[in-house]
Structure 1
């Protein structure tokens, strides 16, 4: 998402400056905030890493500890970023169309691809759009997030209400993975928090988008170090209580804790931990522009495509019984970064753009809704100039 930096308003008694030509000054170009692109790319690397090391966790306690650390915060952080760039205003027709073109249509396309893949490889398939395959649940979550945000924004304490909702749904076994509703409502507080921070300009007021104090970075590193040690040192305890399943925000407390009354308190504690780790994560994200920063504009390509890259390794058993861990785990970490970078490169985007960013004019009564945009953006809110305007065949909307 782009950001603008406006000068303070001049006093009312001071007339606005008039250019020497007498023409109306052009609006100032919006400036990207590198922090968000850096954070998006870091988040998507963690997504790939979490999926890549999953098979290693069966045979390595170190890998399981890292897995738990990643899953403790990476999707809450992604939801927070998405909420930061979401608006609660009444949507325009184009914005409503974008939910279909950016979320719903890609979901249907990739759900169809996964159904075909499972049928070809495993000899079985379940073509059920209400049960998202693997990573596709987050697309449905983003769609639901956007639909309910404008109603949450009407409430006096939207954050409090979403926390209550997140905790309460765990007590309702009928709210399950259908349409990814359980995970969506479970992560709703983080999405709403992102919107709330932007709506109230909290980060701008505290100048957190540009500055990183050394003691904040030190505290963030210490936070991850302590949490990582806890994840590893008590790993047998976490295995015994199936902490991994708790971090998915998917199963009910009846499945996780036999319906115990304290299930909601566990979720509340995990939400607090996710928030602390997310804050530490953002504190460590570089504020400047780097060679890899622009990859953060294409996270949806990585998100939708990386599972097809990992699928053969996960299902073939190649990632099982790899020993010693101190060699294979770093290799998998490096491979995860390379996969994320590779899937965000221009050749991959060019080939898969019709699948990841479809613009089906035939779907709409007004065909121009499919391509009426001057900038592309992915569902997490990253806006960017169109790389090749001639591809659209239409003039950008003023």
Structure 2
């Protein structure tokens, strides 16, 4: 999928336009208009600014996998097949999401506008939803002692902390000659460093870091290679092999390796196994992600528009799953662990997260997921 020269070496950057030359957006070629026309005519929507249907499809399908896998957690005990499916999904669904996040973070440069977007689109939602999830656990789960702590992410809010840290360090990774090997070394060391602790969920931040850095190094041509017919054909036996191996390993392998939230020693394994498993899991995740990306439709689909609202689906679906768990739904109905029950749980989770990604929900949540907050930022800084 990703030839070594293109992954590890940066392509030469285009020369900066002179002050007298028109600046072009994207890859479109434009003709300079007279000053009066430019000044009086409102900017038109160009194809360069249109969303790419393929990436919106990737984001939607990835968030459906995330929600479905989360819904399996309370009901997969006692089912080796469900545990195997869970392991396969957990191998690549978050790595795929993180790779795409890195790909769309390539232009982050610590400019005032980018920093504002980082704060309003990542930091603010984290504060709001970390508080909301903590209060939800306190009262819905009757856990009055559950702390509200912004330095100890709970449940799925860790991703927002990680994304903030990854994105703010993007200029560093963009300046290194070999960023992916460096990120892999950091992830390996984190995997056998129990002293890192739980603050900001740094274990996950560091162990998932290589996927974000890989996304930073990707270019459009890499995704064109992934979508070739021969890659799609190879993805089928790859998935079949992964399912067979996961079924064999279901009763032998700890799920902690997939979460990447602890060191090897904390899981009762020798320290060197952390290095081995980090590299092995990275390779498996990359292969399955390639297979997943190869089968994502390129053309606009009925769910393409939902790709713009995946942050809402991600942040909201946890309330549904945890709410059902706190209500004792999974304990009351034992048949949910049966194949029919697993199918029903999967359909409900997929349908719910689909509704949560719809434009009306996105508009309702915009004040906390995409707040303007002009009052908090200097206007002259934003102009610069």
Partner residue, 1:136: 157
Partner residue, 1:285: 296
Partner residue, 1:253: 264
Distance 1:236 1:167 in 2: 25
Matched, 1:41 2:60: yes
Q: Quick one: which of 332, 344, 369 aligns to 2:357?
A: 344
Q: How does 1:308-347 map to 2 (within 5 A)?
A: 308-320=319-331, 321-322=334-335, 325-347=338-360
Please give the per-residue CA displacement for 1:293-324, whole angstroms capped at 9, x wherever unaligned.
Answer: 11011110001111112122122332243256
Q: Is the contact made by 1:299 and 1:344 (CA closer than 8 Å) also made in structure 2?
A: yes
Please give the per-residue CA displacement for 1:166-213, whole angstroms capped at 9, x wherever unaligned.
Answer: 111112112133102110111111111111013xx5426xx347x531
Q: Quick one: which of 318, 333, 347 aligns to 1:307?
A: 318
Quote how far apart the aligned CAs of 1:165 are: 0.5
Q: How does 1:33-72 map to 2 (within 5 A)?
A: 33-72=52-91
Please give the per-residue CA displacement for 1:193-244, whole angstroms capped at 9, x wherever unaligned.
Answer: 111013xx5426xx347x531x321211221121112212332112xxx1x1
Q: How does 1:118-129 map to 2 (within 5 A)?
A: 118-121=137-140, 122-124=142-144, 125-129=146-150
Q: 1:6 to 1:118 in 2, by over 3 A?
A: same
Please give the per-residue CA displacement for 1:327-351, whole angstroms capped at 9, x wherever unaligned.
Answer: 1111122112201211012332232
Provide the aligned C-alpha RMSD in A.
2.8
Q: How does 1:65-214 map to 2 (within 5 A)?
A: 65-87=84-106, 90-121=109-140, 122-124=142-144, 125-198=146-219, 201-203=220-222, 207-208=224-225, 211-213=227-229
**Between 319-328 and 340-349, the greater mean CA deviation after superposition:** 319-328
Q: 1:212 to 1:114 in 2, by over 3 A?
A: same
Partner residue, 2:47: 29
Distance 1:106 1:23 in 2: 40
Distance 1:324 1:168 in 2: 38
Distance 1:48 1:162 in 2: 28
**Between 215-224 and 289-298, the greater mean CA deviation after superposition:** 215-224
Distance 1:260 1:145 in 2: 26
Q: 1:95 to 1:331 in 2, by over 3 A?
A: same
Q: Is the contact made by 1:38 and 1:293 (CA closer than 8 Å) also made in structure 2?
A: yes
Distance 1:81 1:37 in 2: 10
- Give the 3-state SS of the residue equivalent to 2:195 in structure 1: coil
Distance 2:157 2:55 in 1: 22
Q: Is the contact made by 2:133 and 2:154 (CA closer than 8 Å) also made in structure 1?
A: yes
- Give the 3-state SS of the residue equivalent to 1:232 in structure 2: helix
Q: Quick one: which of 233, 237, 240 aligns to 1:225?
A: 240
Which has the larger share of helix? 2
Partner residue, 2:284: 273
Q: Is the contact made by 2:204 and 2:259 (CA closer than 8 Å) also made in structure 1?
A: yes
Q: 1:232 to 1:290 in 2, by over 3 A?
A: same
Distance 2:44 2:329 in 1: 58
Q: 1:288 to 1:57 in 2, by over 3 A?
A: same
Q: Is the contact made by 1:56 and 1:64 (CA closer than 8 Å) also made in structure 2?
A: no
Please give the per-residue CA displacement for 1:124-163, whole angstroms capped at 9, x wherever unaligned.
Answer: 2201111111110000000000111211222111111001
Which aligned runs of 4 or more in structure 1 are off by greater than 6 angstroms?
A: 16-19, 22-27
* Number of residue pairs matched by the alignment: 350
After TM superposition, the score normalised by the length of structure 2 is: 0.84
Distance 1:105 1:26 in 2: 31
Distance 1:59 1:258 in 2: 24
Q: Is the contact made by 2:67 and 2:353 (CA closer than 8 Å) also made in structure 1?
A: yes
Q: Quick one: which of 218, 226, 231 aligns to 1:216?
A: 231
Q: 1:197 to 1:89 in 2, by over 3 A?
A: same
Quote how far apart the aligned CAs of 1:275 are: 0.6
- Give the 3-state SS of the residue equivalent to 2:252 in structure 1: helix
Q: Is the contact made by 1:76 and 1:278 (CA closer than 8 Å) also made in structure 2?
A: yes
